[in-house]
């Protein structure tokens, strides 16, 4: 969602796959243009789970979550476009949000001529030049974008989409084969675009929260691959099959707000 924009009247605008959506929430009502209702319901994941119900359970379970939920009740995981999600988090490594947005606008502009429209097709992404992307501020991510696009092009048609709904460990195993995609980025793509609701991306903020509140035995340790697994597992034990959703509310409270 890095390229989305919010206007003064509360409309959120951006591309999701084939659609260019406008959304606005007023109370319990969501207004929309750019797609039909079933698409919007699917994108917002309105029919998959009762977030209210999950949150009530999590609030009772954990005071830290309760506090975060108080400040940000209703924060949802969205069903994002897998290809845009893949390249977004490939670019996201060690960069603040404002910079990630600029990098993705540059990628889209280079590939399609429109920074805000539909995300480039694989064919369009294959036209990207590393040198151009470096000029546009991608830094060391430029090479990763080019190499990942090539590797993706070797897979069958709609390969990324076909990962949706597969077991999380399998999704992680597939995605971490790509250059520039380690466990954290794989988990972001899995959670935000592939329906892997239990995925808990452990970034620097979630690592700190986990050590402090959920797995004190990790408190003296650093974020190695083995400890990433332990932190993620601690979160999943605590919050259950929708742990990724709980993670996002805590993350937002800690890192964004």
Give how far Cα 246 sits from Cα of 8, 95, 113, 199, Å.
Answer: 29, 23, 37, 10
Please count the residues of this chain forming the interface with DNA, following the rule CB under 7 A: 37
User: Residue from 109, 180, 213, 233 that binds DNA (CB under 7 A)?
Assistant: 180
* Between 56 and 151, CB nearer to DNA: 151
* Between 48 and 203, CB nearer to DNA: 203
The answer to the question of residue 227 lying near DNA (CB under 7 A) is: yes
What's the farthest any 2 CA atoms get from each other in the chain?
A: 52
Contacts of 102 (CB under 8 A, 6+ apart): 137
Sheet holding 5-6, edge to edge: 5-6, 12-16, 19-26, 29-33
> Which residues in the 49-108 window bind DNA by CB under 7 A?
92-99
The answer to the question of residue 109 lying near DNA (CB under 7 A) is: no
User: Of 67, 102, 151, 184, which one is the catalytic site residue?
Assistant: 184
* Residue span binding DNA (CB under 7 A) among the ranges 46-54, 67-75, 105-113, 221-229: 221-229
Q: Is 184 a catalytic residue?
A: yes
Least distance (Å) from DNA to the CB of residue 36?
29
Sole residue written with tokens 């959670």 = 191
The answer to the question of residue 22 lying near DNA (CB under 7 A) is: no
Distance CA 87, CA 217 (A): 35
The answer to the question of residue 221 lying near DNA (CB under 7 A) is: yes
The pairing of beta strand 12-16 with beta strand 19-26: antiparallel
The answer to the question of residue 201 lying near DNA (CB under 7 A) is: yes
Nearest CA-CA partner of 137 in 91, 188, 194, 202: 91
Q: Which chain residues interact with DNA by CB under 7 A?
A: 92-99, 134, 137, 139-140, 143, 176, 178-186, 188, 201, 203-205, 221-222, 224-227, 251, 255-256
Q: Which residues are catalytic?
A: 184
């Amino acid at each position: 969602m890095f390229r989305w924009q919010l206007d003064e009247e509360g409309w959120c605008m951006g591309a999701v796959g084939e659609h260019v959506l406008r959304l606005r929430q007023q109370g319990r009502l969501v207004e929309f243009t750019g797609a039909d209702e079933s698409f919007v319901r699917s994108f917002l994941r309105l029919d998959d789970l009762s977030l209210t119900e999950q949150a009530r359970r999590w609030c009772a379970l954990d005071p830290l979550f309760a506090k975060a939920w108080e400040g940000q009740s209703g924060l949802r995981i969205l069903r994002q476009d897998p290809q845009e999600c893949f390249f977004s988090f490939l670019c996201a490594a060690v960069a603040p949000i404002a910079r990630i947005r600029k990098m993705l606008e540059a990628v889209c502009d280079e590939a399609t001529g429109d920074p805000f429209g539909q995300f480039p097709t694989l064919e369009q992404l294959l036209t990207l030049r590393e040198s151009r992307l470096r000029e546009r501020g991608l830094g060391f991510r430029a090479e990763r974008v080019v190499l990942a696009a090539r590797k993706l092009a070797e897979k069958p048609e709609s390969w990324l989409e076909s990962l949706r709904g597969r077991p999380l460990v399998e999704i992680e195993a597939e995605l971490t084969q790509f250059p520039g995609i380690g466990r954290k980025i794989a988990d972001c793509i899995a959670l935000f675009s592939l329906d892997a609701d239990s995925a808990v991306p452990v970034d620097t903020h979630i690592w700190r929260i986990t050590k402090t509140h959920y797995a004190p035995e990790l408190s003296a340790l650093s974020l190695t691959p083995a400890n990433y697994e332990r932190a993620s597992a601690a979160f999943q034990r605590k919050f259950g099959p929708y742990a990724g959703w709980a993670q996002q509310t805590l993350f937002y409270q800690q890192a964004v707000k």
